[in-house]
């Protein structure tokens, strides 16, 4: 059974159809890259899977670990192990990352029937993850993403992913805004946190360059609201050379 | 303090079987009859065993009140109050008693549970039959704790009594300061309070003493039974310090619709008073029916050089809140601070803020106001910064932030700035924002249910104010904010 099974998914936002019959099967242990032109519906796919209000599913299905994902509230999906890395991480003034993540992680743990982590246990994990991603731990004591550079925000997303330790990560353009060193650090982070037999990643990206560090098992082209083409890692190189337009024409 | 209040409470209980007050009927009763006249004032004074000067003071206030009119300048939609259709002195048992917690509004019960209030304390707060005895017992049970505190305070020379006791035991201090900061005729509600106040607290911190504990922290149960017209007087003598906590996070119901308290603070040279309030009076149902009107006059006189008063308030309750904790900064280099969170939901209305009156040279003030509006509520910040002509080098910084949840609520900021000295530096910043869908979704994606996400974001918005509260109060206040806003999004 696939960890994520999307079948003929249709979704719209503000009355405008975006996903038009998208199907995708992701098994545990796999990393899938989703590429495609602007406006193809890549971010919408992430939002729909994470349950963002304002994105309405009009047809098809998505199951996660055999359960109807679309019937779950956003925080229930999170507790079940789904993590969305945001293209534009959000600022929350007045709330430190430490407080934010500890509250969130313990909410997830309660939902799963696990004990909450003590402050000490949590801080140890947070310190380790920040160090691994090259983010000064002091930054996690500051309000969530407030005053962070674009690169710091993306690193912070990966620190969050490391702390939350999900089973399925959907990473929406995590590579945008990163310089080459940061790209390597983030790529290493994704491999370290998510490369495991029981986990899977859906990596949404414009560019091939992140795939030099996180080698996907499958590459898909999302165009016109559906998976237009699928292949192995070589497809990413081909797209990098020829673009999306050439083939569509 | 606990001793005094308990003695009073026990006295009232004991009185119920034996006490006769015959001026209106021969039925045994422990309350003044409905309506307000000179006899009501005399009744209260007599009931409190007050000396003649205190009664005279009350009667003078009553005479002034008669000539005044209820103000109407606030941005509040207010049904006129019939002052003759109310009781002005009643034993605490006047609240309707419940046979058990099962009879309590499930909404309130749920809130108690969320706040983590122990069952016995819940019963007291809800007015369950027989629970009052429990409350008294509860304090008796902890009598050793109370004794320790009392002895500690006594050793430090701190006077901490009910205002009635202070009138009898320390008349020189009460006569000297009562009504000095908030004169009897200051405003309509202050005059009313001066005539009929029935309960309250008196604190005196002697010269050079740092009060060894947060006052009133350990008297929550008693504090829950505060009267309709509370009177508080706190005097910090030279070089002293005190932190005073007022209120309760648990929702409190009361049959008295109008609450008009007066709080007077006096800080002498180098003294500091920190006054923290959490107010959660019953706000009424979703349509605003049955809620409490909270019209309070709170003012501090920073009379001494380098004196400091800091007001911190978290206002979530009441149908209508109307209060402006203020500082008269007459001492040189005196400091006034006002940190406020006001939450309104459903049909609640709040018109609140502060007045910083700068008279002393080099006096400084800071105002941080956070207004949160949800439902169909209205939330107004109204603040005055005044600099007198002889006050040189005054500084003020004001920050007013409003957060809107939903599209049917209102946030208003009404700053008044009157500067009569050109050396003053006055800054005013104001922002209004809506809670963002991005923030909510981000928090929910990380695992928080929607209401917890709202609570987290709102707590972040209020952080500058909440961090001024003493630790244990701050934790409760954070929970309270979340509860107050339940159901306000989505």
At B475, is the pLDDT very low, low, confident or very high (cuts 50, 70, 90)?
confident
Q: Cβ–Cβ of B446/A89 closer than 8 Å? A: no
Q: For the residues of A33-91, what is the DSSP string, one character each?
A: EEE--TTSSHHHHHHHHHT-TTEEEEEEEEEETTEEGGGS-HHHHHHHTEEEE-SSPPP
* Closest listed residue to residue B125, CA positions, set B109, B140, B137, B141: B109
SS3 content of chain A, % helix, strand, coil (to 5): 40, 30, 30
Q: Indicate whether B436 belongs to any domain.
A: no
- Number of cross-chain residue pairs from A and B with Cβ atoms under 8 Å apart: 84
At B219, is the pLDDT very low, low, confident or very high (cuts 50, 70, 90)?
very low
Judged on CB neighbours under 10 Å (0-12, 13-18, 19+), B85 is exposed
Mean pLDDT to the nearest integer, A163-167: 96
What is the torsional sign of CA A130, A136, A137, A139?
negative
Q: How far apart are CA B154 and CA B159, in angstroms?
A: 7
Q: Cβ–Cβ of B445/A78 closer than 8 Å? A: yes
**Residue A167 DSSP label:** S
Helix (H) or strand (E) run with residue A25 in it: strand A16-26
Q: Does the pLDDT value for residue B180 go beyond 50? A: yes
Count of domains for chain B:
1
Q: What percent of chain A has pLDDT over 70?
A: 98
Q: Indicate whether B22 belongs to any domain.
A: no
What is the torsional sign of CA B83, B292, B352, B309?
positive
As a dihedral over the C-alpha atoms of residue B467, residue B473, residue B476, residue B481, rounded to 10 degrees, the angle is -50
Q: How far apart are CA B249 and CA B114, in angstroms?
A: 11
Q: Does the pLDDT value for residue A68 go beyond 60? A: yes
Mean pLDDT to the nearest integer, B18-37: 46
* pLDDT for the residue numbered B124: 56
Per CB-CB distance under 8 Å, the chain B contacts of A79 are 447
At B112, is the pLDDT very low, low, confident or very high (cuts 50, 70, 90)?
low
Vertex B87 angle, CA B83 and B93, to 5°: 155
**ipTM summary value:** 0.96
Q: Indicate whether B289 belongs to any domain.
A: yes
Q: Cβ–Cβ of A78/B439 closer than 8 Å? A: no
Q: How far apart are CA B359 and CA B222, in angstroms?
A: 38
Mean pLDDT to the nearest integer, A71-83: 97
Range of the domain at B271: 1-13+39-323
Q: Cβ–Cβ of B448/A107 closer than 8 Å? A: yes
Q: Does the pLDDT value for residue A151 go beyond 70? A: yes
Mean pLDDT to the nearest integer, B364-373: 94
Q: Which residues pair with B296 in a beta bridge?
A: B323
Q: Cβ–Cβ of A52/B447 closer than 8 Å? A: no
For residue A141, the tally of other CB atoms under 10 A from its CB is 12
Q: Does the pLDDT value for residue B108 go beyond 80? A: no
Q: Indicate whether B287 belongs to any domain.
A: yes
Helix (H) or strand (E) run with residue B162 in it: strand B159-162
* Interface with B, mutate which of A107, A111, A169 (most B CBs under 10 A): A107
- Answer yes or no: CATH 3.40.1380.20 is held by domain A4-248: no
Boundaries of every domain in chain A: 4-248
Q: Does the pLDDT value for residue A249 go beyond 50? A: no
Q: Does the pLDDT value for residue B20 go beyond 70? A: no
The least confident of B156-170, B295-309, B331-345 is B156-170
Of B441, B447, B464, the CB nearest to A53: B441
Q: Indicate whether B359 belongs to any domain.
A: no
Q: Indicate whether B383 belongs to any domain.
A: no
Q: How far apart are CA B293 and CA B349, in angstroms?
A: 10
Vertex A137 angle, CA A134 and A142, to 5°: 125
Q: Could you read off the pLDDT of B239-272 as tens digits, one per residue?
A: 999 999 887 665 555 555 778 889 999 999 999 9
Per CB-CB distance under 8 Å, the chain B contacts of A103 are 448, 452, 456
For residue B393, the tally of other CB atoms under 10 A from its CB is 15
Q: Does the pLDDT value for residue B8 go beyond 50? A: no
Q: How far apart are CA A61 and CA A40, in angstroms?
A: 19
Q: Cβ–Cβ of A104/B449 closer than 8 Å? A: no
A151, B310, B357 from B366: Cα distances, Å: 36, 9, 12
Residue B225 CA, distance from chain mean position: 13
SS3 content of chain B, % helix, strand, coil (to 5): 35, 30, 40
Per CB-CB distance under 8 Å, the chain A contacts of B446 are 78, 100-101, 104, 160, 164
At B348, is the pLDDT very low, low, confident or very high (cuts 50, 70, 90)?
confident
At B22, is the pLDDT very low, low, confident or very high (cuts 50, 70, 90)?
very low
CA of A75 vs chain B CAs: smallest distance (Å): 4
Of B439, B447, B460, the CB nearest to A108: B447
* pLDDT for the residue numbered A232: 92
Question: pTM, whole model, 2 decimals?
Answer: 0.79
First to last CA, chain A: 36
Helix (H) or strand (E) run with residue B438 in it: helix B437-445
* Interface with B, mutate which of A80, A86, A103 (most B CBs under 10 A): A103
For residues B326 and B300, is the Cβ–Cβ distance under 8 A? Answer: yes
As a dihedral over the C-alpha atoms of residue B149, residue B151, residue B154, residue B155, rounded to 10 degrees, the angle is -110
Q: Does the pLDDT value for residue A193 go beyond 60? A: yes
Q: Indicate whether B312 belongs to any domain.
A: yes
């Amino acid at each position: 059974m696939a960890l994520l099974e999307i079948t003929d998914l249709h979704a719209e936002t503000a009355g405008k159809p975006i996903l038009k019959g998208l199907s995708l099967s992701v098994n545990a242990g796999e990393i899938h890259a989703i590429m495609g032109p602007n406006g193809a519906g890549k971010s919408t796919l992430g939002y729909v899977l994470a349950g963002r209000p304002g994105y309405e599913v009009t047809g098809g299905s998505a199951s996660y670990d055999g359960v109807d994902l679309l019937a779950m509230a956003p925080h229930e999906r999170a507790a079940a192990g789904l993590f969305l890395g945001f293209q534009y991480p959000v600022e929350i003034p007045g709330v430190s990352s430490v407080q934010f993540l500890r509250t969130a992680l313990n909410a997830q743990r309660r939902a799963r029937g696990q004990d909450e982590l003590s402050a000490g246990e949590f801080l140890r994990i947070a310190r380790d993850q920040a160090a691994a991603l090259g983010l000064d731990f002091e930054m996690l004591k500051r309000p969530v993403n407030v005053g962070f550079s674009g690169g710091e925000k993306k690193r912070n997303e990966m620190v969050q992913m490391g702390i939350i330790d999900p089973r399925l990560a959907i990473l929406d353009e995590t590579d945008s805004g990163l310089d080459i060193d940061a790209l390597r650090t983030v790529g290493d982070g994704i491999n370290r946190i998510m490369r495991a037999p029981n986990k899977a990643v859906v990596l949404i990206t414009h560019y091939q360059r992140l795939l030099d560090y996180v080698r996907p098992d499958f590459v898909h082209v999302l165009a016109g609201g559906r998976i237009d083409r699928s292949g192995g890692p070589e497809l990413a190189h081909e797209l990098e050379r020829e673009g999306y337009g050439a083939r569509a024409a | 303090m606990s001793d005094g209040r308990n003695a009073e409470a026990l006295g009232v209980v004991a009185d119920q079987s034996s006490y006769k007050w015959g001026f209106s009927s021969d039925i045994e009763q422990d309350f003044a009859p409905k309506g307000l006249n000179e006899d009501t004032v005399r009744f209260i004074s007599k009931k409190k065993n007050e000396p003649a000067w205190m009664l005279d003071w009350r009667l003078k206030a009553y005479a002034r009140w008669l000539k005044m009119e209820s103000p109407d300048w606030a941005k509040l939609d207010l049904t006129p109050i019939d002052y003759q259709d109310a009781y002005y002195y009643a034993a605490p048992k006047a609240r309707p008693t419940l046979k058990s917690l099962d009879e309590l509004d499930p909404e309130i019960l749920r809130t108690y549970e969320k706040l983590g209030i122990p069952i016995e304390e819940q019963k007291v707060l809800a007015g369950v039959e027989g629970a009052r005895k429990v409350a008294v017992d509860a304090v008796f049970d902890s009598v050793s704790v109370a004794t320790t505190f009392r002895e500690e305070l006594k050793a430090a020379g701190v006077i901490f009594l009910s205002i009635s006791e202070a009138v009898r035991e320390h008349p020189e201090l009460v006569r000297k300061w009562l009504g000095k900061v908030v004169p009897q005729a200051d405003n309509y509600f202050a005059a009313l309070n001066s005539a009929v106040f029935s309960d309250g607290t008196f604190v005196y911190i002697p010269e050079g003493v740092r009060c060894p504990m947060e006052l009133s922290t350990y008297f929550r149960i008693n504090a829950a039974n505060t009267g309709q017209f509370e009177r508080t007087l706190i005097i910090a003598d030279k070089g002293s310090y005190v932190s005073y906590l007022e209120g309760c996070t648990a929702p409190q119901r009361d049959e008295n619709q109008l609450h008009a308290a007066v709080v007077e603070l006096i800080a002498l040279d180098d003294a500091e008073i920190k006054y923290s309030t959490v107010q959660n009076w019953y706000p009424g149902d979703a349509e605003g029916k049955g809620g409490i009107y909270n019209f309070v006059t709170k003012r501090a006189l920073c009379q001494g050089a380098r004196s400091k008063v800091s007001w911190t308030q978290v206002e979530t309750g009441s149908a209508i809140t109307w209060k402006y904790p203020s500082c008269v900064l007459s001492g040189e280099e005196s400091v006034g601070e006002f940190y406020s969170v006001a939450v309104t939901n459903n049909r609640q209305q709040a018109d609140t803020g502060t007045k910083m009156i700068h008279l002393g040279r080099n006096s400084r003030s800071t105002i941080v106001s956070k207004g949160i509006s949800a439902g169909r509520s209205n939330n107004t910040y109204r603040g005055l910064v005044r600099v007198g002509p002889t006050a040189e080098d005054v500084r003020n910084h004001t920050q007013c932030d409003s957060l809107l949840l939903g599209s049917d609520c209102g946030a208003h900021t009404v700053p008044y700035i009157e500067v009569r000295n050109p050396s003053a530096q006055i800054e005013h910043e104001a922002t209004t924002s809506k809670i963002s869908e991005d923030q909510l979704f981000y928090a929910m994606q990380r695992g928080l249910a929607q209401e917890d996400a709202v609570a987290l974001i709102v707590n972040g918005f209020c952080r500058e104010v909440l961090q001024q509260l003493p630790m244990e109060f701050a934790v409760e206040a954070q929970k309270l904010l979340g509860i107050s806003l339940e159901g306000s999004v989505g």
